[in-house]
C-alpha cells in the first residue's frame, strides 16, 4: 500500500490530502505546491557538512545519512514535497555494474555495454539489492508525516546512454550508433533497463514513496520520431510496472520541448517542463488529462529578488488555466544558488497562489 493511497473503508493516509498530491491528481489545492529538483544537495551548507569526505555512491547506501539529507530542504525551505536523495545509477551499481561517480565528471562506467554479450551483465534487481533504500524510506516517512516523499529513477534511455558511452556525453555518438545501427540490440537493452528501473521504483513505492519521477535527462538529444520508435516503449514499460500502485508518475527531461506530448503519452500523470517552453504552450502540446510541473530557469535565482518574483509571476500566470500545476525549476538547483533565494521563492509562490 503506497503512502498516498486511501484503502477501501479506511481513512486516507497522512499525505493523501497534501497540496502536492492534490495537484498531481489535478484536484483543487490550497496553494500551488513547490519542490525543487536537486533541492537536497550542494546548494546547502548543511549538506556539504554531512557529506564531507563521503563518496557519492557510498552516501546513497547509508540510510541515516540519506534521511538527513532528504529532510534538509524540507526543514529549511518549507517545500511541499521531499525527494529521495540518491542517484540515477544506484540500481546499476546495485546489480554489479562497475561504475563510479567522479567529482566534476559524473557517472563513469569501467566497461561500457555495446554488444549482445554485454546484456548478460544486466541482471534483475531484487529488493535485497537495495535494502538500504527500503530502510531509508521507512525512516523518512516516519519523519515527514504529512509531507509526501517522491521516489525517482533514471529512464531507460538515459541509463543506456551512460552505459554505452561509458560516462556523460555531449553528442551521444556511441548511443545513437547503437540505436540506429542495431535496433534489435538497442530494443533489448532498453527493455532490460526498463525491467530494472520498474523494479527499483516498486521498491521505493512499497517502502512508502507517495509519487515517483522518471528522469530522462538526455532524451532531449532525440528527434520525436526516434523517441517514439526507439525510447517510448521502454519508458511506457516502466510506468506500466507501477501503474497499479495508484501513485502519481512524473516524467521529466531536459530540452524536451518537442517531446512533451510523447512524455505524457509514455504514461506520465504529470509532465515536467523545462524553462524553454511556457506552461500554457506546454499544456497545448501535452494535451488534456495531465498535470504539469515547472518551470523557472534555475539561473534566474541569481538575479535580484524583484526579478525572481517577476519571472515567477509570469510562470504562475501561464499556469493559471492548467488542470494541475506543481511549481518547480526547469532543471535542478545549481550548486552555487543562495539557499535564501529558494526559501523566498517557496514563500512567494505560496503567498501568490493562496486560495
- The reply to whether 41 sits in an annotated binding site is yes
How far is residue 295's CA from residue 312's CA, in Å, rounded to a whole number?
Answer: 9
Q: Give the cell for residue 89.
A: 545509477
Say if residue 95 is exposed, middle or buried (CB neighbours under 10 Å; 0-12, 13-18, 19+).
Answer: middle
- The reply to whether 39 sits in an annotated binding site is yes
CA-closest candidate to residue 15, choices 148, 212, 151, 211: 148
Q: Which of 26, 47, 51, 227 is catalytic?
A: 51
Q: Which of 47, 84, 162, 227 is catalytic?
A: 162
H or E element in which residue 189 lies: helix 183-207
Terminal C-alpha separation, the chain: 31
Q: Give the cell for residue 286.
A: 501535452
245 flagged as catalytic: no
- The reply to whether 40 sits in an annotated binding site is yes
- The reply to whether 331 sits in an annotated binding site is yes
Q: Kindly report the length of the chain.
A: 355
Q: Is 270 helix (H, G, I), strand (E, B) or coil?
A: strand
The owner of cell 498516498 is 4
Question: 188 to each of 96, 137, 216, how far by Cα in Å?
Answer: 19, 31, 18
75 flagged as catalytic: no
- The reply to whether 131 sits in an annotated binding site is no
Are β-strands 99-102 and 106-109 bridged in parallel, bridged antiparallel, or unpaired?
antiparallel
Question: 259 to each of 27, 152, 172, how far by Cα in Å?
Answer: 25, 20, 18
249 flagged as catalytic: no
Beta bridge partners of 252: 215
- The reply to whether 352 sits in an annotated binding site is no
Q: Which of 42, 121, 229, 276 is catalytic?
A: 42
116 flagged as catalytic: no
25 flagged as catalytic: no
Answer whether 149's CB lies under 8 Å from 81's CB.
yes
- The reply to whether 180 sits in an annotated binding site is no
Q: Which of 87, 100, 118, 182 is catalytic?
A: 87
- The reply to whether 317 sits in an annotated binding site is no
How far is residue 332's CA from residue 288's CA, in Å, rounded to a whole number?
Answer: 26
How far is residue 199's CA from residue 46's CA, in Å, rounded to a whole number?
Answer: 32
- The reply to whether 269 sits in an annotated binding site is no
Q: Is 3 helix (H, G, I), strand (E, B) or coil?
A: coil
Q: Is 53 helix (H, G, I), strand (E, B) or coil?
A: coil
Q: Which of 38, 76, 192, 249 is catalytic?
A: 38
Q: Is 238 helix (H, G, I), strand (E, B) or coil?
A: helix
How far is residue 14's CA from residue 4's CA, in Å, rounded to a whole number?
Answer: 7
Annotated binding site: 38-42, 87, 162, 217, 331
Annotated binding site for substrate: 38-42, 87, 162, 217, 331
Known catalytic residues are 38, 42, 51, 87, 162
Amino acid at each position: 500500500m503506497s503512502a498516498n493511497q486511501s484503502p477501501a473503508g479506511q481513512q486516507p493516509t497522512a499525505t493523501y490530502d497534501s497540496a502536492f498530491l492534490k495537484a498531481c491528481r489535478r484536484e483543487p489545492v490550497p496553494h500551488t505546491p513547490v519542490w525543487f529538483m536537486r533541492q537536497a544537495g550542494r546548494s546547502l551548507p548543511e549538506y556539504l557538512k554531512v557529506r564531507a569526505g563521503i563518496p557519492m555512491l557510498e552516501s546513497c547506501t547509508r540510510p541515516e545519512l540519506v534521511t538527513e539529507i532528504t529532510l534538509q530542504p524540507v526543514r529549511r525551505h518549507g517545500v511541499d514535497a521531499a525527494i529521495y536523495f540518491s542517484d540515477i545509477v544506484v540500481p546499476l551499481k546495485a546489480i554489479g555494474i562497475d561504475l563510479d561517480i567522479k567529482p566534476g565528471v559524473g557517472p563513469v562506467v569501467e566497461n561500457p555495454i555495446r554488444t549482445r554479450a554485454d546484456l548478460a551483465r544486466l541482471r534483475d534487481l531484487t529488493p535485497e539489492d537495495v535494502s538500504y533504500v527500503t530502510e531509508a524510506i521507512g525512516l523518512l516517512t516516519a519523519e515527514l508525516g504529512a509531507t509526501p516523499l517522491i521516489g525517482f529513477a533514471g529512464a531507460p534511455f538515459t541509463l543506456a546512454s551512460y552505459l554505452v558511452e561509458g560516462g556523460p556525453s555531449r553528442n551521444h555518438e556511441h548511443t545513437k550508433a547503437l540505436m540506429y545501427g542495431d535496433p534489435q540490440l538497442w530494443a533489448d537493452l532498453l527493455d532490460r533497463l526498463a525491467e530494472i528501473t520498474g523494479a527499483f521504483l516498486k521498491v521505493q513505492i512499497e517502502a512508502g514513496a507517495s509519487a515517483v519521477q522518471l528522469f530522462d535527462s538526455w532524451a532531449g538529444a532525440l528527434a520525436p520520431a526516434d523517441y517514439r520508435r526507439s525510447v517510448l516503449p521502454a519508458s511506457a514499460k516502466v510506468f506500466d510496472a507501477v501503474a497499479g500502485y495508484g501513485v502519481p508518475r512524473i516524467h521529466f527531461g531536459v530540452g524536451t520541448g518537442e517531446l512533451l506530448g510523447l512524455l505524457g503519452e509514455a504514461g506520465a500523470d504529470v509532465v515536467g517542463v523545462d524553462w524553454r517552453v511556457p506552461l500554457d504552450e506546454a499544456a497545448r502540446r501535452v494535451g488534456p488529462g495531465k498535470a504539469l510541473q515547472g518551470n523557472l530557469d534555475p539561473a534566474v535565482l541569481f538575479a535580484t529578488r524583484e526579478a525572481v518574483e517577476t519571472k515567477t509571476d509570469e510562470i504562475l500566470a501561464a499556469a493559471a488555466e492548467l488542470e494541475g500545476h506543481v511549481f518547480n525549476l526547469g532543471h535542478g538547483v545549481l550548486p552555487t544558488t543562495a539557499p535564501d533565494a529558494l526559501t523566498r521563492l517557496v514563500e512567494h509562490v505560496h503567498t501568490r497562489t493562496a486560495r
